[in-house]
Each structure stands twice: as C-alpha cells, then as structure tokens.
Structure 1
C-alpha cells in the first residue's frame, strides 16, 4: 500500500520544485540555483565532450580553421559576431547562472554589447565592450551585487584584456581578442545560459506530466479497489491459494517475474479478477500459458496483471537507475513513456520465448519417449501403465511433464481420447498433434498401438532430420550478407593494400 501512496506524492513534489524558478533576472532566487547546481557538472561534461570532438578533428585533419574553432570555443560564453546587431539580438538581456572561482553560486545578465571598428584616417580605436549586472549569493544569505563594464581596445595593433571577479576573490571571466574575434570567456568560473538549466529540468516535462497523471489515476483506482473489495471474498481466495500444491507457489527462475510477482499478485490481480472482461482475458492467455508451461505458476489474470504492473515497474526502475548511476544526460526523461510501453509488451515477448524453447525441447525428446512407450506396450503394459512407466524412467523434460498431467486427468475421470485432445491443445506442436490424433483414431477402432507408436517414432525422426536440413539451408542464406559486407571487403583490402602501398611508394 505504501508503494501506491508513494506514486501519489512523487509527481506533485516534482511539479512544486519546477515552480521555484522564475523567468526574469530578478525572479531567479538562490534556492533555484542551488536546486539546479547539479546541472553545472552535467553541462561542463557536455562542453568537454564537444571540445574533445573538435580536438580529435584537429588530430585527424590538421586544418587551420578547425584549430582556430577549437581554440575560440574552449571556455567560450559568447563571441562578438561581425554583425554586432546579431550578437545583441542573441545575447542582450540573456541570463547566465554561474559558479564563481571560490565556489559561490550566482547569476548575471548581459545588459548591453557594443563594438566599434577603427578607421586609419580618423585614427579611432577599435573596441569591444559589454555591460553586465551580477548577483553572487554568499554564505548566510548575503549577496554581492555588481554592475560591471568590460571593455577592450586595440593599441598599436595590440588588444588589451579585461578581467572581472564577481565575488571579489578570484578571476571569474575575461574579455579578450582571439583570432581576430572578441570573446567573453570563463577563467575559473563555470557559467551556462539559464535556458540550458531549464531545458535540463524540463526535458520531457509535458510527456512526463501526462504520464504522471496516468500513474496517479491508476494508483487511485488500485487503492480504491483494494479498500472497497469484498474482504470475505478476498480472505476465502487467500485460503484457497494456501491450499494449493507447492509447485504452484514456486516462482520460475526469471528475474523480472520473481521480483514483480509479490506486487502484482497483491495489488493488480484482485483488480483483474473483478473486471467485466475477465473471461476474455482468460480465453486469450489460457492456451499461451499452457503452451509455455507457465500455467502452473501464473493464471491468465496473473499474467495480465503482470503486464499492467510493468507499465509502472519499468519506468520506476529506469528513473531509479538514472538517478543512482548519475546518467541523466545519457538517459533522457523523454524515454520514460517508451519504456512504459515496452514494459506492457515485455511479458508477451518473454512468454513467446518460453513457448519456442519448450516446443523445441519437446520435439527433440519425442522420438526417444515414443520408442520407450512402444517398448512398454509391447512388453504387455496397457497404454496408461506404459505412460506411467515412461514418466518414471525417462529423463526430465516438458513432454514427460505433459504426460504426467495427462495421467492425472485420466485419474479424475477424463477419457483417454479427451486427455489426448487436451495434451495436443496444451503443447500446440505438429508432432504432438499428429501423435495424439493417431492414438485417438487407434483407440476408436481398437487397433494395436505398439506398431503405430513405432511408426510414429520413425516419422518424427524423419521430420526432425528434414527440419535440421531446412535450418542448415537457412544458415547458408543468413551467412551470405555478413560474407558480402564484412568478409569480402576484408579479403579485397588484404589483396589490394600491398599494391596500393607499392604504387604510393613508387610515387
């Protein structure tokens, strides 16, 4: 129950945190910057990756313009464009959050940017200047407010440098000239546009909001169902479950199912049991679970509850790992709905894999078991006794388990023909269907089944051999593409490389 109530709390809390930051310079409080402080490191790592990419390009290409670009963009906040109006439009009144050289958090806004280009005739100087307002939040609620003008000019062809310390203890930023461009750069501070911080926080916000509303609605529904369901009925159901055989309470060796089962059995299955469409769910998944052998562990209602639970379970695990591993940049929030959808369809993919694996094991073990059955019948045992003998002596396999289920069904009153039909329905493979149909026909006319079983074993072996040949033929086709796109180019490279190197050496 605590788990469900937690879902009701998470998203309102997230929404409240999102409202702490304003849009204008005056509306950005210290609490907002402190909440966003973890993004300094993320954005710095992203910036380092970008510079490293440029540096790799330098090593590979050795192009002067690439070298210039890497040098200019390292620690860059913004550059003065040749079209100064374009620079003003982009950066004037733009807010930056920063961490000073001494580790204090602050905010700054660029109020004005100007640039003049000197004329030789008039002997005027070229200048680049900017005016900024800044607030540094000190300890115990103190603030350091500064209005700073940074200006550089060319003197005898050489440009001056202007530095600023916003917390009055170390150089934070510098305005200087690099490769013919005026640039405003970080020195010992970290500074990034306020919009980048907000984007980090609001990434996938709209999608997450709708997803959160869905989870809240689902949680309220489940809580209501748990509170208002018939207690007597639930207690009776628990007593029936306790009376079940131990094998039905065991959980198969599957990580997701093992740790999800306690939750969906307690909170989701009761909801499914009370749904009007329960019969359709049962009809849809009953045979699927029987074919996979999972009907001993999961009812159709349990399986559908498993699917619904993973709509919530997968995103919770994703968000938890995202926070714990500190990989928010690489694992975006916008993937959460996709992961939720993947959670709903995961049980279907998992159960199909179980069915394919089980059917393969049955097909492989069938000739040996049918031979044992034929020998037992020839030795004088009736069909049921012969099958019981096979169950005792044959190595464990899904087919042996199915024979055991069939024996139990005959003991509770089902006819042999009906038990065989149920076996064919559960396993849902062609060899078993053929085996059951042949035995039902032989039983109807009273024929001796020993030679029939021998013939069946022979046919099953032949079919298995033909299937192996078909798989071999498919393998030849599948390996063709890797040979064309991987092996052949490598061979051509080995053959052609010496000739190319020889020609290059000759030149």
Structure 2
C-alpha cells in the first residue's frame, strides 16, 4: 500500500513538472512563439518590415541627435550661434559639423561627462570635496569638448596656412607680373597649391563669382583666419584696391615681407633649441653620463674599503 501511494505521488509530481515546462502540450511554448514571430515578420505589411530593416543609426541615433539639436537650439542664443559659426569657419568647416551639431554635441558631452564622473566616483569612492571636483571637471570637459576639438583643428590649420602663405604669395606675384589679372592669378594659385590656404582662396573666388565684391571677399578671407600675416595681406590688398595702387607692386612688397618673416621665425625657433634641449639633457643624459663615468670608480672604492 505504501509503495502504491509513493508511485502515485511520483507520477503526480512528474505530471505537474511536465505540464509546467510544456512537455505535455502539443508544441512547446518557445518554439511556438518563435514560429509566431517568424510568421508575423513574413506576413506583416511592407512598411513594418522596412521600418524593422533600417540600421541602428537611422532608428535610434538620428532621432536622438534631432532631439538634442532641438534642445541645443533652445538653450543656445543668437550670439553663441554666431560664435560657433566663426569657430567652424576658422576650423575649415569640418564635414558633418554644423552649429546645431556642435550644440547637440555639447549637451551629449555633458551627459557623457556626468556618466564618467559617476563611474569614477563610484569606483574610487573619494571624499566629497574631491568627488565634487571630479564631477565639475568632467562636466566642464564634456560641455566644452566640441569647442576644444574645433580650437585644435583651427590651430593646426593656421600653422599650415602660415607655412604655405609665402610660397603662395610668390606664385601670385609671378602670375600677376606675367600679365594675368588678380582674379586669374588667384585661380592659378588655388589650382597649383594645396592645403587649407588653397581652399580659402577657392572660397574667395567663388564668392566673387556669385557677385560679391573683391574687397568684401578678401576681407572675409582675412576674418575667417587668425593668422596675422594673412590678415595683413588681405588688408593691404583691400587698401590697394580702394586707392588704386598697382597690384603687382603691393604683391612684391608683401611677398618680400612674408619671406623675411619666415626667415625670422626660423631663426627664432633655432634660438629656442638650446633652451628647450637643456631640460632633457639635465634630467636624462647627464645622470646616465655620470653613472657611466663615475660608476666603475665608485664600485672600485666600495670594493677596496670592504676588503679592509
């Protein structure tokens, strides 16, 4: 009797277990659900399948960026927008970078900085003054990260413009003295040179072609850059155009001045080399030299005194 009761209880327990996991159902729930999903995907309208087949960037990232752009447009004033546009011009208008993108990038960088600060604080557990300092630094860096990138890009671009400007002025002077007009000479320089200076000259030519005056185009060329030599060149050309001075004479003076300034910059950097090299010499080379020269003598002295 006890054996029969135990067998019945075991059978009931097995029945409950199989019923719970779906072993007694005609088809398992997991397989049936998968089949239902496949049937829904294959039998769904074409609009739904197109929406599901879109990449992750179009479904998630682009709407998120649009919301951030709208929010950034609200908190960014008109003067701030003009300032960002000036930074973009000085950086050469990188591909995909607009005023709205920079504003949304500042907001996104703030959220990223907040997350990084929370992660560092939770991981290290510093005291609250240091925690506040870490949070403030991360938030400020995240907010100004797009501005820092644009500033670095503009500085590298200005260095390249400063390097290419004397050669471009020499070619411009030769072209004008050979009989070409100023606009044709600018086009010749833009065609035969490369880098950011050629791009700026091409933009100035395009502005003149769409109806902007030469003085305004040259003035805009100087305002889009912070290179003093380029600003002085554009100012001289605008004054020459207004007064009526021969362009070839002004270009000859400007090219000589640019070559002189380039030679002076090279001499200045050469004079800075001894001062800059003093720190690594004192910190790294002299200690190694002292070890090599005095090391054997010190070891011999230690050995002689240890024998006594």
Aligned to 2:177: 378
Alpha-carbon distance change, 383 to 264 in structure 1, aligned in 2, over 3 angstroms: farther
Mapping for residues 325-340 of structure 1, pairs under 5 Å: 338-340=137-139
Name the one with the larger strand percent. 1
Q: Does 1:400 align with 2:165?
A: no
Secondary structure of 1:428 counterpart: coil
Alpha-carbon distance change, 484 to 460 in structure 1, aligned in 2, over 3 angstroms: same
Aligned to 2:66: 266
Secondary structure of 1:273 counterpart: helix
Aligned to 1:423: 221
Of the three residues 292, 299, 304, the one matched with 2:91 is 292
Q: Is the 8 A contact 1:291 1:426 kept in 2?
A: yes
Q: Is the 8 A contact 1:281 1:304 kept in 2?
A: no
Alpha-carbon distance change, 331 to 461 in structure 1, aligned in 2, over 3 angstroms: farther
Q: Does 1:506 align with 2:296?
A: no
Secondary structure of 1:427 counterpart: coil
RMSD: 2.8
Alpha-carbon distance change, 399 to 309 in structure 1, aligned in 2, over 3 angstroms: same
Q: How many matched pairs?
A: 239
Of the three residues 273, 276, 281, the one matched with 1:475 is 273
Q: Is the 8 A contact 1:442 1:449 kept in 2?
A: yes
**CA–CA distance in 1 between the matches of 2:281 and 2:63?**
49
**CA–CA distance in 2 between the matches of 1:331 and 1:451?**
69
Alpha-carbon distance change, 264 to 410 in structure 1, aligned in 2, over 3 angstroms: farther
Compute the displacement of 1:393 (Å): 2.5
Compute the displacement of 1:482 (Å): 2.0
Mapping for residues 144-159 of structure 1, pairs under 5 Å: none
TM score, norm. by length of structure 2: 0.69
Name the one with the larger helix percent. 2
Higher relative contact order, chain-length normalized (CA < 8 Å, sep 6+): 2
Of the three residues 348, 357, 361, the one matched with 2:147 is 348
**CA–CA distance in 2 between the matches of 1:264 and 1:421?**
39
Compute the displacement of 1:373 (Å): 1.6
Q: Is the 8 A contact 1:268 1:305 kept in 2?
A: yes
Aligned to 1:411: 209
- Where structure 2 has 5 or more consecutive residues not aligned to the other structure, the ranges are 1-60
Compute the displacement of 1:285 (Å): 2.2
Q: Does 1:440 align with 2:222?
A: no
- Where structure 1 has 5 or more consecutive residues not aligned to the other structure, the ranges are 1-260, 323-327
